[in-house]
C-alpha cells in the first residue's frame, strides 16, 4: 500500500471513530501540497464538515493530531482554513531513495505475460507513398503508449495494419506502368517507398490534366472526374487485382516489396517495432465474408445496384456502405475482418487503434456495425484519437506532393542537430563515429520529444528549429542534463564518501527531487490510463529542471560533509536512471557525454 492509500485509510478510520460516519475511498481526495506551503500531502476537509458538524479549521486540527498518532510516517501538520497539510518524516523520502537505488526498473510494474494482452495498432501506412510527418506522430504515439502500458504492468502486443490494396495503390501502379519506363529502386538508387510515391503524385497530375480537358470539351467537373480515362483504368486495375489477374497481381507484389523495404529503413531510424504485421490484402476477404453473411441474416441490406449497407439511423447516424456494387471492399470491410482476426489471434482485453481524429466517425461506426453483427467484443475497441500535425506553411497533401517525407525530415533535423551541437562545443573529445551517434540521438530526441510533449488530442504545429534548444522544454535539454549527471558520476571515482542513512538531514532542493522521484510510478500509471506520453514528457522535463536547480545550489563531489556528498551523488544517480527510463518510454536515447 503506498503512502497516499495509507493516509486515506487512516483518515477514514479516525473520522469514523470520532464522527460515526464512513468515508469512501472516492470521497477522500489527497493532493500533493503546493510548493509555497509547508507540507507533503493535503486533504481538503470542507466536504466532511456536514458529517462532523464542526468548523473546517477545528475538524482539520483534530484530524491532523490523530494522524500524527496513527501513522508513523506523519511527522507534523499545519492547517490553512479547511486544508490539512501533512508533513512526512524525512526518513520516508530517504527510504524511498534507497528503494530506487536497489530497483533496476524503479517505477515499472512487472508484466504478467499470462494475462490477456492489450493489442495496439499504429502506423497503418498505405503502400502508395512514403511515411510522412503525420505518420511520424502516429508511430511515435503508438510506440510510446505501448511502452508506457508495458511499464504499467500490462501485457501488450504491438501490431501494424498495412493498407496494401485499393484504388490508391492501383493509381501508383498504373502511373508506373504508363510513365515509369521500367525504373526500379536499384536502377535509380531511390528508396522504394519514395519511388512508388513519386508515381502516386504523377497519377494525380495526369488525372487533373484529363479532367481539365474534359471540362474544356463541355463536361461538368463531377462527370469529368468520373469519366477521365486514367481513373477508369485504375478502377479496372482494382477489379483485375481482386480477380488475381496474374500480370496485375505480380506488379502489385513487386511494387509493394519496394515499399516494404523502404518502410523498414524508416521504422528502424524512428526506433519503432511491431509484434505482428497484418495486411489489408489478407484481411479484406474475411471482412467481405462477414458482411455477406450479415446480409443473408437480414442484419444488413442491399441496394438495387447490389451494394451492401448497414442502416445506422436507429443509432442517430446514417447508412454506411460496406460493399460496393462491383463487389470491391471499403476500409470498413477490412477493419471488420482485421478486428475479428485479432480477437482470434490474441483474445485480447482491449483493441486499441492509434488513428487521427478525422477517423472518429469511422470507429464509432465500426463498433456499432460489429455489435449489430453479433460481436459483443466490439466493446473492447478503443480509438486513441490524436490531432493532426501541421507545418508553419500549412497542411500536407500526399497526392499533390506537398508532404514532408519522414526520411527527409529526419535527415534535416539530424543535420541541424550536428550544426548546433558542434557550435556549442559539445563534441570535444569525441571520435567522428561517436559524434555522428550523438547527432542522431540529439536530432531524433528533439523530434520525438517535441511531438510527444503535446497532448495527443491536440492539433500541433511542428517547428524543427524550436525542437532543438538546449535550454527549453526540449529533448536536448533533458539529454544534456543526463550527460551532465554522467559526468559527475564518472568523476566520483576519484573521491571517497561516507555511507548515509535515514537520519540524514536534507534541504528543500533535495526533498523536492526526492518527491519527484517518488511520483514516477504514479506518473506511469496515469499516463497508461489516459494513453498520454505527454504526461511522461512533462514529468521528465520537470525532473531535469529540478535537478539542474539542485545542482546549481548544492556542492556534490566537493561537499565537505562526505555523508551528504554520498547522498547527493546517489540522488544524482537515481535521477539519471529515471531520466533514461522515462525517455525510453518516449523512444528517446540519452547520451552519456555531450
What are the residue ranges spanned by the domains of the chain? Answer: 3-88, 122-390, 441-585
- Taking the C-alpha atoms of residue 197 and residue 127, their distance in angstroms, rounded to an integer, is 8
Q: What is the model's pLDDT at position 401?
A: 45
Contact 589, 421 (CB under 8 A): no
Percent of the chain that is helix, strand, coil (3-state, to 5): 60, 10, 30
Bridge partners of 85, per DSSP, are 42, 78
Instruction: Please give the class, per CATH, of domain 122-390.
Output: alpha beta
Architecture of domain 441-585: Orthogonal Bundle (1.10)
How far apart are the two ends of the chain, measured CA to CA in Å? Answer: 40
Q: Across 232-360, where does the E strand assignment appear?
A: 276-279, 301-302, 308-311, 319-323, 350-356
3-88 topology per CATH:
Gyrase A; domain 2 (3.30.1360)
Q: What is the model's pLDDT at position 393?
A: 61
3-88 and 441-585 agree in CATH topology: no
Contact 310, 319 (CB under 8 A): yes
Bridge partners of 88, per DSSP, are 74
Query: In whole angstroms, how large is the CA radius of gyration of the chain?
Result: 29
Q: What is the model's pLDDT at position 404?
A: 80
Contact 515, 427 (CB under 8 A): no
Block means of pLDDT (10 residues each) for the chain, length 594 residues? 93 95 92 94 96 95 96 96 96 96 95 96 95 93 98 98 93 97 96 96 96 95 96 95 95 97 97 96 92 96 96 93 88 94 97 96 96 96 93 51 79 92 86 94 96 94 83 94 97 95 95 97 97 98 98 96 97 98 98 92
- Backbone φ, ψ for residue 277 (5° rounding): -115, 125
Q: What is the model's pLDDT at position 136?
A: 95
Q: What is the model's pLDDT at position 570?
A: 98
Amino acid at each position: 500500500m503506498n503512502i497516499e492509500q495509507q493516509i486515506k485509510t487512516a483518515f477514514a478510520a479516525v473520522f469514523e471513530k470520532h464522527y460515526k460516519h464512513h468515508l469512501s475511498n472516492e470521497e477522500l481526495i489527497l493532493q500533493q501540497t503546493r510548493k509555497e506551503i509547508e507540507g507533503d500531502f493535503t486533504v481538503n476537509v470542507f466536504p466532511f464538515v456536514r458529517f462532523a458538524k464542526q468548523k473546517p479549521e477545528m475538524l482539520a486540527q483534530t484530524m491532523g493530531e490523530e494522524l500524527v498518532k496513527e501513522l508513523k510516517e506523519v511527522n507534523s501538520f499545519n492547517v490553512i482554513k479547511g486544508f490539512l497539510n501533512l508533513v512526512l518524516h524525512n526518513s520516508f523520502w530517504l527510504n524511498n531513495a534507497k528503494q530506487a537505488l536497489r530497483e533496476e526498473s524503479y517505477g515499472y510494474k512487472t508484466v504478467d505475460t499470462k494475462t490477456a494482452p492489450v493489442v495496439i495498432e499504429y502506423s497503418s501506412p498505405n503502400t502508395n507513398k512514403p511515411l510522412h510527418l503525420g505518420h511520424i506522430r502516429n508511430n511515435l504515439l503508438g510506440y510510446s503508449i505501448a511502452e508506457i502500458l508495458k511499464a504499467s504492468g500490462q501485457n501488450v502486443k504491438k501490431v501494424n495494419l498495412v493498407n496494401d490494396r485499393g484504388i490508391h495503390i492501383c493509381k501508383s501502379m498504373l502511373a508506373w506502368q504508363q510513365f515509369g519506363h521500367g525504373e526500379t529502386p536499384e536502377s535509380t538508387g531511390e528508396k522504394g517507398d519514395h519511388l512508388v510515391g513519386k508515381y502516386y503524385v504523377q497519377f494525380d497530375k495526369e488525372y487533373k490534366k484529363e479532367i481539365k480537358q474534359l471540362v474544356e470539351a463541355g463536361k461538368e467537373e463531377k462527370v469529368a472526374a468520373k469519366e477521365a480515362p486514367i481513373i477508369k483504368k485504375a478502377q479496372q486495375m482494382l477489379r483485375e487485382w481482386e480477380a488475381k489477374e496474374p500480370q496485375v497481381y505480380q506488379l502489385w507484389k513487386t511494387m509493394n516489396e519496394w515499399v516494404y523495404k523502404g518502410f523498414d529503413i524508416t521504422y528502424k531510424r524512428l526506433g519503432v517495432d511491431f509484434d505482428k504485421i497484418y495486411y489489408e490484402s489478407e484481411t479484406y476477404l474475411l471482412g467481405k465474408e462477414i458482411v455477406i453473411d450479415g446480409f443473408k441474416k437480414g442484419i444488413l441490406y442491399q441496394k438495387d445496384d447490389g451494394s451492401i449497407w448497414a442502416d445506422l439511423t436507429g443509432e442517430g447516424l446514417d447508412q454506411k456502405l460496406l460493399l460496393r456494387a462491383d463487389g470491391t471492399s471499403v476500409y470498413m470491410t477490412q477493419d471488420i475482418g482485421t478486428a475479428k482476426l485479432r480477437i482470434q489471434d490474441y483474445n485480447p482485453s482491449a483493441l486499441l487503434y492509434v488513428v487521427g481524429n478525422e477517423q472518429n466517425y469511422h470507429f464509432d461506426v465500426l463498433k456499432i456495425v460489429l455489435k449489430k453483427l453479433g460481436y459483443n467484443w466490439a466493446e473492447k475497441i478503443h480509438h486513441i484519437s490524436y490531432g493532426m500535425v501541421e507545418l508553419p506553411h500549412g497542411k500536407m497533401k500526399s497526392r499533390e506532393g506537398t508532404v514532408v517525407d519522414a526520411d527527409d525530415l529526419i535527415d534535416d533535423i539530424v543535420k541541424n542537430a550536428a550544426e548546433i551541437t558542434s557550435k556549442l562545443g559539445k563534441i570535444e573529445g569525441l571520435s567522428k563515429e561517436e559524434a555522428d551517434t550523438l547527432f542522431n540521438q540529439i536530432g531524433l530526441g528533439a523530434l520525438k520529444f517535441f511531438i510527444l510533449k503535446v497532448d495527443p488530442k491536440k492539433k500541433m504545429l511542428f517547428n524543427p528549429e524550436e525542437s532543438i534548444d538546449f535550454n527549453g522544454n526540449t529533448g536536448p535539454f533533458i539529454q544534456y542534463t543526463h550527460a551532465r549527471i554522467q559526468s559527475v558520476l564518472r568523476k566520483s571515482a576519484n573521491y571517497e564518501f561516507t555511507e548515509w542513512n535515514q537520519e540524514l538531514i536534507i534541504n528543500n532542493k533535495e526533498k523536492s527531487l526526492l518527491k519527484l522521484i517518488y511520483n514516477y510510478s504514479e506518473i506511469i500509471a496515469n499516463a497508461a490510463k489516459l494513453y498520454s506520453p505527454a504526461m511522461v514528457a512533462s514529468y521528465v522535463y520537470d525532473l531535469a529542471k529540478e535537478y539542474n536547480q539542485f545542482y546549481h545550489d548544492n556542492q556534490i563531489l566537493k561537499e565537505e560533509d562526505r555523508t551528504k556528498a554520498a547522498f547527493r551523488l546517489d540522488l544524482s544517480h537515481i535521477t539519471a536512471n529515471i531520466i533514461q527510463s522515462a525517455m525510453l518510454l518516449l523512444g528517446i536515447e540519452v547520451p552519456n557525454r555531450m
